[in-house]
Structure 1
Amino acid sequence: MIGSSRPVAGGPSPRSTVVRSAAQDRPGPALPTLDADRSDAAYRDWLKEAVRKVQADANRSADTHLLLFPLPEHWGIDLYLKDESTHPTGSLKHRLARSLFLYGLCNGWIRPDRPVIEASSGSTAVSEAYFAGLIGVPFIAVMPRTTSAEKCRLIEFHGGQCHFVDDSRTMYEESAALAARTGGHYMDQFTYAERATDWRGNNNIAESIYRQLERERYPEPAWIVATAGTGGTSATLARYVHYMQYDTRICVADPENSCFFEGWTTDSAEAVCESGSRIEGIGRPRMEPSFVPGAIDRMMKVPDAAAIATVRALEAALGRKAGGSTGTGLWGALKIVAEMVGQGRTGSVVTLLCDPGERYLDKYYSDDWLTAQALDIRPYAAALDTFLATGSWPEETAI
């Protein structure tokens, strides 16, 4: 694992070329007078009902749990996992999908009977299929052919369609082209994730974490560790921390085959990665517009084998299976806990349980898949066992 923190914050968020949807670029009708009225009563009635339904989903969804990961009491450190798998669609992306649908509806981009199209490796598509079904519009997910079969089943369960590409780097262009052909709206989570969420509060994930920690012995965490797919969650967490003037630091754990770590450490908006991430939902081949590097304090590069060893350790500790993104973040959080132990510091650390491991039984919980991917988790599993038993984190060269 590689870790890095920068003494000087980066500049503005890197902006790669954004492919806009047909709905956004399509010119409106010619206006015959300066007082033209483009309103339509039937559409406005539909829009009000669609927004009501999406907002009602938030009211029906109780807040997600904050789970305590067992650590030795004498360390004086509490480690929590924000369990986002309890959302109606089973993942952290439920929050994002709700925000993106409200954003698209209120901007006039999502229209009756026209499809919503998204480039997604799985969980966002599952959640967006749910909200599309809720308001009665078609949904098409453009995704890599290697996406887990269970995620594809869930998308179809919620009424969506799966449109596969062989190269994950072509998802953006294919989504935009599909929107143009169908007259639909390309949601483009990788551009709009950071702006669709109300980062100042309104029961976002950051505000929820701090509210749930109010009665804990360390209510203001020393660190929150996230992972990045769009970068929207880390942006929301970091902005909220700065806005509320907390001393919490934000760390982003990045998997193999992702360019975020390189782009952050080199301040390069042009960083790319030629291979797709094996950890579904996180890691990107380009610096996404929604990733806000200047807002976060630290990044770590986490080996995929370490992430998978960690989700298996999580199951042993809590009896819960989780996806690889959870393992990536939890490995980073445990590394920070080890640093705090070594420095004699007390406090709390928070990371995320992003989605359930039952979606990945044929991958991260399959020894055959590990063999096919040439991933050996044994050194990382041994490192975790040693750390949890002794508080000593093995030297980087040893694992």
Structure 2
Amino acid sequence: MGRRFDNILGTVGHTPVVRINRLAPPGIELFVKLESFNPMGSVKDRLALGVIEDAERRGQLKPGQTVIEATSGNTGIGLAMVCAQKGYPLVVTMAENFSVERRRMMRFLGARVVLTPAAEKGSGMLAKAVELAARHGWFLCRQFENEANAEFHSRTTAVEIVEDFADVGLDCWVTGFGTGGTLKGVARVLREQSPATRIVVCEPDNSPLLGSGLRQSRAADGAPAASHPSFRPHLMQGWTPDFISGLTEEAVNEGLIDEVVPVSGDEALRLSRELACREGIFCGITAGATLAGGLQLARRSPPGTRILCMLPDTGERYLSTPLFADIETEMTAQELEISRSTPGYRFDRPSSAPPAPAAPAVAATPGAEAFLTELLSDPDRPVVMFALEWCEFCWSLRKLFARLALDYHSVDLDSARFQRNSEGTAIRAALSDRTGCVTIPQVFIGGDFVGGCTEVFDEFGSGRLQQRLQDAGVAFDSSVSVDPYSLLPAWLHPRS
């Protein structure tokens, strides 16, 4: 904190340990390590940096080579950050049932996301990554068995924990497992440097892979040969894929686990929300699940017991999951009651805000008329949209044009380019004189006025827009099928 870094990768690690106050049983010192403080919001930033830098040192990853990995999301987000900074293309494979926020974050960071059928589970997305790596010569991270994953945690996460509790000692360390990197990497250091610390591992109660005592079948290369027989789908994204990873199995075989605690999905959801509402800690479902395991342990521990729980990530990548199912987007009854407790600024009353002062009228100028004439007769720019940078209707049209892979020219009338001498306002006045329409956006194809957002949407639905584009010789993806009104923000949707 407060230091200068050469690039974003220098900010990975050194996450804070925070005491839990209102949720902890009396007499128990309960702490959490907030891995959401990593730059991309999860513990998997450590894994991503460790695996890539190890591959670079070993010469396994060449400059410009594509990186590929199977991920439930957080590893892919971390890898996308590392690859963006270092200049490697990234492809991730991910089962379709993981949250859409994760896909969008990875794509925003420049990665390509290949989805696999949910029915194929985690082993399906892993097999797809192996298949693609072999076919294209890409570097496969192998996070589930790559020792560099565990080693990075031994050098960073474990050292941080030992240092943070050096003066008081730590009785129990609680974690989940997914790749097994955090588990193995931290546990072996605690065994050596803090042998009195019990290592407790949590897993879903309806999917007890470790608790079952059944071994994982493996192929010759050590990868899982099939789904574990005890696996069942569960709520904890990032916890417990449908196999026991190689790193987790090594932790078991080395005797690094003292206890396995089953956790229910309902408890995971409840405690994620409780952490937010009662402790001000915003985290994901697996964090709530780990805390649930820690609280089970706390309730049967003697006073003075000191427990640390790993909280793997932040809550923002769970917005489309059951974690937020009960969180309203519109005002609740209580919120409406608060609104109605004072007379102004309400949806059920006329506006009480003073009217904004009218802007001085700007008429169309000869320069604006000439600009329109030249632009709308330009054969190299057959599709023109007059827009406003902030306008939600304009952005909805941009989404449709992007789906169609349509090349168009956007004239953003409120942009800095058109602010000099009210040029944008003059062009808008010239547009209104020409089309009789005062609203924005306005779309032209081949010099002909099509209309605004809803007119373009309706023409797309009827097929008329596609015909206009063909007649004007404009290339576009004619296979696209979408309800264009679904591209509007919910609060603008006329059919909701």
TM-score by length of 2: 0.58
Structure 1 residues 320 and 196, CA, compared in 2 at 3 Å: closer, same or farther? closer
Q: Which one is further off, 327-336 or 70-79?
A: 70-79
CA–CA distance in structure 1, aligned partners of residues 320 and 177 of structure 2: 23
CA–CA distance in structure 1, aligned partners of residues 84 and 289 of structure 2: 32
Q: How does 1:1-399 map to 2 (within 5 A)?
A: 57=8, 59-61=10-12, 63-71=14-22, 75-166=26-117, 167-168=120-121, 169-192=123-146, 194-198=147-151, 201-202=154-155, 204-215=156-167, 219-256=168-205, 258-263=207-212, 266=213, 268-270=215-217, 271-291=228-248, 292-293=251-252, 294-340=255-301, 344-367=302-325
How far did 1:214 drift?
A: 3.6
Amino acid at match of 2:271: T
CA–CA distance in structure 1, aligned partners of residues 173 and 21 of structure 2: 17
Does structure 2 retain, via aligned residues, the 8 Å contact 1:259–1:286? no
Does structure 2 retain, via aligned residues, the 8 Å contact 1:259–1:285? no
String of CA shifts for 1:106-151, please: whole Å, max 9, x gaps: 2222122221110100000000111111111110110011121111
Does structure 2 retain, via aligned residues, the 8 Å contact 1:118–1:187? yes
CA–CA distance in structure 2, aligned partners of residues 98 and 200 of structure 1: 11
How far did 1:178 drift?
A: 0.7
Structure 1 residues 106 and 317, CA, compared in 2 at 3 Å: closer, same or farther? same
String of CA shifts for 1:52-76, please: whole Å, max 9, x gaps: xx99655444611111111589933
Q: Which has the higher contact order (CA 8 A, sep 6+)?
A: 1
How far did 1:210 drift?
A: 2.2
How many residues are paired up? 306
How far did 1:296 drift?
A: 0.9
Specify every segment of 5 or more residues in structure 2 that has no aligned partner in the other structure, as ranges.
Answer: 218-227, 328-496
CA–CA distance in structure 1, aligned partners of residues 13 and 259 of structure 2: 31
CA–CA distance in structure 2, aligned partners of residues 98 and 155 of structure 1: 16
How far did 1:320 drift?
A: 2.4
Structure 1 residues 113 and 148, CA, compared in 2 at 3 Å: closer, same or farther? same
String of CA shifts for 1:210-244, please: whole Å, max 9, x gaps: 212345xxx21111100011111111121011121
Specify every segment of 5 or more residues in structure 1 that has no aligned partner in the other structure, as ranges.
Answer: 1-53, 370-399
Amino acid at match of 2:314: P
Amino acid at match of 2:159: E
How far did 1:98 drift?
A: 0.9
Q: Which protein shows a greater Rg?
A: 2
CA–CA distance in structure 1, aligned partners of residues 79 and 153 of structure 2: 23
How far did 1:197 drift?
A: 3.5
How far did 1:201 drift?
A: 4.8
Structure 1 residues 101 and 258, CA, compared in 2 at 3 Å: closer, same or farther? farther
CA–CA distance in structure 2, aligned partners of residues 297 and 99 of structure 1: 27
Structure 1 residues 213 and 119, CA, compared in 2 at 3 Å: closer, same or farther? same
CA–CA distance in structure 2, aligned partners of residues 227 and 254 of structure 1: 6
How far did 1:257 drift?
A: 5.4
Does structure 1 retain, via aligned residues, the 8 Å contact 2:13–2:46? no
Amino acid at match of 2:137: G
Structure 1 residues 257 and 110, CA, compared in 2 at 3 Å: closer, same or farther? farther
Does structure 2 retain, via aligned residues, the 8 Å contact 1:83–1:352? yes
SS of structure 1 residue aligned to 2:278: helix
How far did 1:308 drift?
A: 0.6
SS of structure 1 residue aligned to 2:322: coil
How far did 1:321 drift?
A: 2.2
| Aligned position for 1:15 | none
CA–CA distance in structure 2, aligned partners of residues 113 and 211 of structure 1: 38
CA root-mean-square deviation: 2.4
